[in-house]
Amino acid sequence: MSPTWSTAHLGVLVPGDAPIHLHYFDNSPSTPSAPYTTVILVHGNGFNSHIWVPSLPHLPPNTRVLAFNRRGYTGSSPPHASTQQLPGNVEAFGRYVVDLLGFLKYAVEVLGVHPAPSEGQGKKGGIVLVGWSKGCASVISLLSHLPPSPVLSPHPLPRPAPLDSYLPLLHSHLRATIFFEPPQMIFGLPGPAEYPQLAGVPPERLPQAFGEVLLETIPEDKRQAVLAAEDAGGAADIVTWNGATSDERRDVCERAFPSNLVRVGTLYCEGTTLAPVVNGVKWINNRYAALGVGVSAEFVKGMVEGGNHFVMATDPDSFGTALGEVLVQLGVE
């Protein structure tokens, strides 16, 4: 069954900004009567939410799946026009974080997704956020802003809007976050222009060139499933980051992990050959290990057999199996 596409009208999320709308799909537009868990998928750079569609039949049963096109991508509001073009365009990046909160609120208040189960009421219910590639940056930055935090120094990313009104919703509904192959630049490691395959590429060609490098890792007979989700929104997306410097990006990630609010899972493909999109998972895994947090219900490490960075489209059965295993280990059904 194909998902139903709609538009979420979120209104004004940041005072002074225009109202925001996001194009999204829902695989269960008629709210299920039985208890269910909602999985919200956050796509990466250069490819919109169509990338997830092949995987829908293979995702765990009894889950409601939502995915939205981030701003600048097909059907959604245009990219934010920053008042100051600072390195990393953190002002525009902050809008992705607020959009994510706005969509979570829409899912709860308009779409009626179920809250997390209370103690002893089973494992179904609530929301699991699954970020892929650069889409992980918004989820990580959201975690970095949430209290309580042991870090008392000023946050490197200013909040474009107060988060207080969203906190009750996050506490009642958000159960876990899963990070699938976030690129290493999110964590303050070398960025796209510093990848050996992209050395010397002009900034305006980076989105296209990076996509070409990634596509070369996919067997030709499977590329069409990926190209169907290609989106020009990546041109504005790739120049916005979760910090103006590598130190700021690392600071944001250190605030996010370990999370004080939700359980965390990581996921990558054993067949991914491009190290920069695997090193992000390794950073998170090493962070937990260094802090003495072993694999448990609070933190789970997962792997997709074979596959590649676009496995949800090229080998959706493998992706669905691996994601389901991580969910079970996180205590979610």
Q: Hey, where are the domains in the chain?
A: 4-329
Q: Is 293 helix (H, G, I), strand (E, B) or coil?
A: coil
In the block, which residue shows the tokens 């067997």?
A: 219
pLDDT band at 192 (very low <50, low <70, confident <90, very high): low
Q: What mean pLDDT value characterizes the chain?
A: 90
| b/e 192-229 (16+ beta carbons within 10 angstroms → b) | beebeebeebeeeebbbbbbebbbeebeeeeeebbeeb
Look up residue 191 and give its two tokens.
Answer: 């960025």
Give the domain 4-329 fold. Rossmann fold (3.40.50)
From CA 117, how far away is CA 131, in angstroms rounded?
Answer: 22
The pLDDT tens digits for 135-164 are 999 999 999 988 765 555 788 887 777 788
pLDDT higher than threshold 70 for residue 42? yes
pLDDT, residue 154, reads 80
Q: What share of the chain is helix, strand, coil (3-state, %, to 5)?
A: 40, 15, 45
pLDDT, residue 30, reads 74
In the block, which residue shows the tokens 């490490």?
A: 301
Q: Are strands 63-68 and 127-132 parallel, antiparallel or unpaired?
A: unpaired
The pLDDT tens digits for 276-289 are 889 999 999 999 99
The pLDDT tens digits for 220-263 are 899 999 999 999 999 899 889 999 999 999 999 999 999 878 99
DSSP string, 160-227: SS--GGGHHHHHHHEEEEEEES--GGGGTS--GGGSGGGTT--GGGHHHHHHHHHHTTS-GGGHHHHH
CA separation (Å) from 3 to 55, 67, 115, 193? 11, 10, 22, 36
- Containing H/E element for 322? helix 316-329
pLDDT higher than threshold 70 for residue 199? yes
Q: What sign does the CA torsion over 157, 159, 164, 168 have?
A: negative
Task: Tell me the whole-structure pTM to 2 decimals.
Answer: 0.94
pLDDT, residue 110, reads 96
% residues pLDDT > 90 (the chain): 68
- Containing H/E element for 6? strand 4-11
pLDDT, residue 120, reads 62
